[in-house]
């Protein structure tokens, strides 16, 4: 960002608060610029030179966008607002960029694992768009051993059936387009991780509605647990449930390179 910016807009941009809340914070004397209290929301600052402090928050360096990896636990909805518990209820209130963050993709309520949270709309769009074929890896536990024949079928691609009629009203128009036409899945990569052949690593490069569950369901298997462990070069690693960490510079650069943004 070049030049100056209104103080209330700046607080909103770095995710401290909504615009309305920012105005209240400033008028209440809870915001300092260069160690001096400022009471005017329209006060202009230079993000590259001025130091802004907000009561209850650490000093937050200015940046255009924020990028985090987050371990979504089971039982939470991947949404900004919902009647059920959402992932945003788990994030620290002082997390830089919080008010502007959104998930780049989704995980079902009963699934767990890696999500990328960002304020960068173009990056999020490319993560989700099938054109870029960004690989996502999952650990999958099945109800019974998988056969070599079924592994081969998944690695070659299988035709998925449409969901039952009762499910259709629950889907967005975009999701409906993805499931109402019988299309063959793109080839998946399957790695057997346990001797009982029930625990697998599955890599896919598309993001259809309930893709993993539907793939295995088509072949007569039930997915007992589903955990995403990687999105492109970004891995879950040692991240703990409900923990969020900024993407490293290496992770971000690798991700942007794969998505044609560098």
pLDDT digits (tens, 9 = 90+) for 2-21: 578 999 988 888 877 788 98
pLDDT of 166: 40
Per CATH, which fold does 67-258 belong to?
A: Pseudouridine synthase (3.30.2350)
| DSSP tag of 117 | E
Per-residue pLDDT, averaged over 203-212, amounts to 90
Give the pLDDT of residue 169.
44
Measured CA angle at 56 (ends 50, 59), to 5 deg: 30
Beta carbons of 212 and 223 less than 8 angstroms apart: yes
Q: For residue 78, is pLDDT > 70?
A: yes
**pLDDT at residue 178 tops 90:** no
Q: Whole-model pTM?
A: 0.79
108 part of the active site: yes
Instruction: Please tell me the number of Cα atoms within 13 Å of 238 on its side-chain side.
Output: 0
- Rounded mean pLDDT of the chain? 88
C-beta of residue 215 within 8 angstroms of C-beta of residue 207: no
In the predicted structure, residue 111 carries a pLDDT above the cut 60? yes
Q: How far is CA 170 from CA 38, 162, 163, 173, 177, in A?
A: 48, 14, 11, 10, 13
Measured CA to CA, the distance from residue 106 to residue 172 in angstroms comes to 14
Per-residue pLDDT tens over the stretch 83-97: 889 999 999 887 888
Q: Residues in the chain, how many?
A: 262
Q: What is the pLDDT of residue 179?
A: 47
5-54: CATH number: 3.10.290.10
CA distance 158 to 243: 36
**From 8, 40, 50, 108, active-site residue:** 108
Question: Mean pLDDT throughout 195-211?
Answer: 93
* 52 vs 167: CA distance, rounded Å: 49
Instruction: Tell me the range of 11-20, 105-114, 205-214 where mean pLDDT is highest.
Output: 105-114
Structure tokens at 74: 């089971």
pLDDT of residue 183 exceeding 80 = yes
pLDDT of residue 51: 87
Distance CA(166)–CA(219), nearest Å, equals 22
Average pLDDT over residues 96-105: 89
Mean pLDDT for 228-257 is: 96
Tell me whether the CATH fold assigned to 5-54 matches the one assigned to 67-258: no
Buried b (16+ CB within 10 A) or exposed e, 35-64: eeebeebebebebeebebbbeebeebebee
Residue listed under structure tokens 């589903």: 226
For the chain, domain boundaries: 5-54, 67-258
**In the prediction, which pLDDT does 199 show?**
98
What are residue 52's DSSP bridge partners?
A: 33
pLDDT for the residue numbered 168 = 45
Taking the chain, what is the end-to-end CA distance rounded to the nearest angstrom? 18
Provide the pLDDT for residue 13.
Answer: 81
| pLDDT confidence bin for 208, thresholds 50/70/90 | confident
* 182, pLDDT greater than 70: no
Split at pLDDT 50, 70, 90, the class of 58 is: low
Window from 27-41, 144-158, 185-199 with minimum mean pLDDT:
27-41
């Amino acid at each position: 960002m070049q030049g100056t910016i209104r103080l209330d807009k700046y607080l909103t941009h770095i995710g401290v608060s909504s615009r309305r809340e920012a105005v209240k914070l400033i008028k209440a004397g809870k915001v300092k610029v260069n160690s001096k209290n400022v009471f005017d929301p329209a006060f202009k600052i230079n993000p590259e030179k001025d130091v802004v402090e907000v009561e209850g928050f650490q000093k937050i360096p200015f940046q255009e966008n924020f990028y985090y990896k987050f371990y979504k636990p089971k039982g939470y909805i991947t949404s900004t607002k919902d009647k059920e518990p959402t992932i945003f209820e788990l994030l620290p209130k002082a997390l830089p960029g919080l008010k502007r963050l959104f998930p780049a993709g989704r995980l079902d309520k009963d699934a767990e694992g890696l999500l990328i949270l960002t304020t960068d709309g173009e990056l999020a769009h490319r993560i989700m768009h099938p054109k870029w074929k960004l690989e996502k890896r999952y650990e999958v536990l099945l109800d019974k051993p998988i056969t070599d024949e079924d592994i081969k079928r998944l690695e070659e691609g299988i035709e998925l059936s449409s969901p039952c009629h009762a499910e259709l009203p629950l889907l967005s128009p975009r999701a409906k387009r993805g499931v109402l036409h019988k299309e063959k899945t793109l080839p998946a990569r399957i790695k057997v991780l346990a001797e009982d052949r029930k625990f697998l690593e599955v890599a896919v490069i598309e993001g259809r509605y309930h893709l993993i569950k539907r793939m295995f369901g088509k072949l007569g298997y039930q997915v007992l647990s589903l955990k995403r462990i990687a999105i492109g070069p970004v891995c879950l690693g040692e991240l703990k449930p409900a923990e969020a960490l900024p993407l490293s510079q290496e992770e971000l650069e690798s991700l942007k390179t794969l998505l044609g943004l560098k």
